[in-house]
Amino acid sequence: MSSLAMLWDESHIWGLLAWRAIREMGFPCRMVRAQDIAGGALAGKSGAEPPKALIVPGGVARRKAEKLGDAGMDAIREFTASGGTYLGFCGGAGLGLTGQFGLDLCPWQRAAIKERMLHLASGHIHVTTPQSHPLLPESMQESPLLPVWWPARFEPQSDNAVQVLATYSDPGDDFWMADLPLNQVPDNAISHWRETYGVQLRPDFLTGQPCVISGEYGQGRYLLSYSHLETPRSADANRWFAHLLTTALGKDPRQNPIHEVPAWHLYEQDIAWDDPVLVRAVEIMDEIIAVGTDHFLLFQRNCWLLGWRAGIPGSNINMLSSLLRTVAAQEPTEEAERFFSKTKEKFGTTWEKFHSAVTGYFLAERLAMTLSKAYPDAVSQQGLLRERTALFGHPMQQGGVYAELVEVLEELVWLGEG
């Protein structure tokens, strides 16, 4: 059976979302790792039939490229040039671009982020699309709502070979800038902030910018999207995602009966792997989130996504929690149990260490927030940065104690699903 392949490495929560969406909509797909791709999995050298499309979820493009290495990057180019479809979302879109750590499938590059505010946008946003295109579903409504989660941007070039399939328009009702929901901030306040403090809160910098692009590479095609079309319960995005997958498989999209991804109630999943170390890890994760929530550093944004105050490593907490909850909700395979039996003693010890350190760090962040106006130097910002880096690594990089835990959990997800 013709199938799809999805790159698992360096995808974290975005890989979980994409895998869940593909599975819920009933598409034939298998997970592949960077080493498999480098070894010829996309060319059928692993014994499985070559896929019709490679799906590369979000994450950091640089880290994906490092995992793939030269052999893996060349294999993806050869796969696409030979007629395959490359579907890249957010970090996967960045990987498809030209430049350092890029596949050079698309001649465009990633735009430099000159202001940090440009990378703090999240939620649903209206987009403008062509009236018709083979890669657009016929039922796409005018000005559809698509989700973006802290996207980078394309650097458009004068190149007719690149087709723009969606450009940003007006933000939807759930659109946030950092930890501020725009629909709860009056327009006169936004204007006042701009005129008095020089802060541009509305995402006008996105208006008219490309969000989804496509083009040909050899005999194949790429589609690069900074919208996460796999986002649960995002009707327009899910319909488009299903259309792309059906089209990639060479089938009539109109015959696909399922085109919406159900809600992902991450924290309501039952624990199926009743291992004491995993159960304790779940308890610790819940306690960490509770401390962050009680002290106004974290909040529950929806049933699968945390929100966080700007500067707090909430993204890392969200990634770790989603991986842990997914592992705990799986019936363990024999391979997963064998692997975990060798690592769980250290894993459990590391969780206890992480629990104590993150709790102390969160309380220090709260203290700094409390004293920031009256005593701005009372809590050393350099000290907080050192503590945060030791726990989570530098921003956009995986490091510290966090990286040790993620490495084990990602392997367990792979052994349970891959």
What pLDDT score was predicted for residue 215? 96
Same domain, 338 and 410: yes
Written as six digits, the tokens of 55 are 């799906």
Query: What is the C-alpha separation between 400 and 388, in angstroms, rounded?
Result: 9
- Residues of the chain short of pLDDT 50, as ranges, are 1
Same domain, 230 and 296: no
Same domain, 392 and 276: yes
Same domain, 162 and 305: no
Is 261 a domain residue?
Answer: no
Burial code (b: 16+ CB inside 10 Å, e: under 16) for 350-373 equals bbeebbeebbebbebbbebbeeee
Query: What is the C-alpha separation between 175 and 188, in angstroms, rounded?
Result: 18
Same domain, 64 and 211: yes
Is 260 a domain residue?
Answer: no
Largest CA distance in the chain: 66
- Asked which of 233, 255, 277 is the last residue of a domain, the reply is 255
Same domain, 251 and 303: no
Same domain, 234 and 286: no
Is 231 a domain residue?
Answer: yes
Same domain, 169 and 191: yes
- Asked which of 208, 235, 255 is the last residue of a domain, the reply is 255
Same domain, 295 and 177: no
Same domain, 238 and 283: no
Is 395 a domain residue?
Answer: yes
Is 296 a domain residue?
Answer: yes
Written as six digits, the tokens of 270 are 């039952």
Per the listing, tokens 């910002």 go with 381
Task: Kindly report, residue by residue over 208-258, the tens digit of the pLDDT.
Answer: 999 999 999 999 999 999 999 999 999 999 999 999 999 999 887 666 666
What pLDDT score was predicted for residue 1? 45
Same domain, 237 and 271: no
Written as six digits, the tokens of 122 are 């999240």
Which structural domain, as residue segments, surrounds residue 237?
4-255
Is 183 a domain residue?
Answer: yes
What pLDDT score was predicted for residue 377? 87
Is 297 a domain residue?
Answer: yes
Q: Say if pTM beats, i.e. exceeds, 0.75.
A: yes
Give the number of domains in the chain: 2
What pLDDT score was predicted for residue 254? 62
Residue 14: partners with Cβ closer than 8 Å, 6 or more residues away: 57, 58, 59, 89, 90, 91, 228, 230
Task: Kindly report, residue by residue over 269-280, the tens digit of the pLDDT.
Answer: 999 999 999 999
Same domain, 126 and 44: yes
Share of the chain above pLDDT 70, in %: 96
Is 413 a domain residue?
Answer: yes
Task: Kindly report, residue by residue over 4-37, the tens digit of the pLDDT.
Answer: 999 999 999 999 999 999 999 999 999 999 999 9
Q: What is the CATH number of the domain that holds 155?
A: 3.40.50.880
- Asked which of 196, 227, 255 is the last residue of a domain, the reply is 255
Q: Are 89 and 230 in contact (CB under 8 A)?
A: yes
What pLDDT score was predicted for residue 46? 67
Q: Give bridge partners of residue 171 from the DSSP assignment.
A: 125
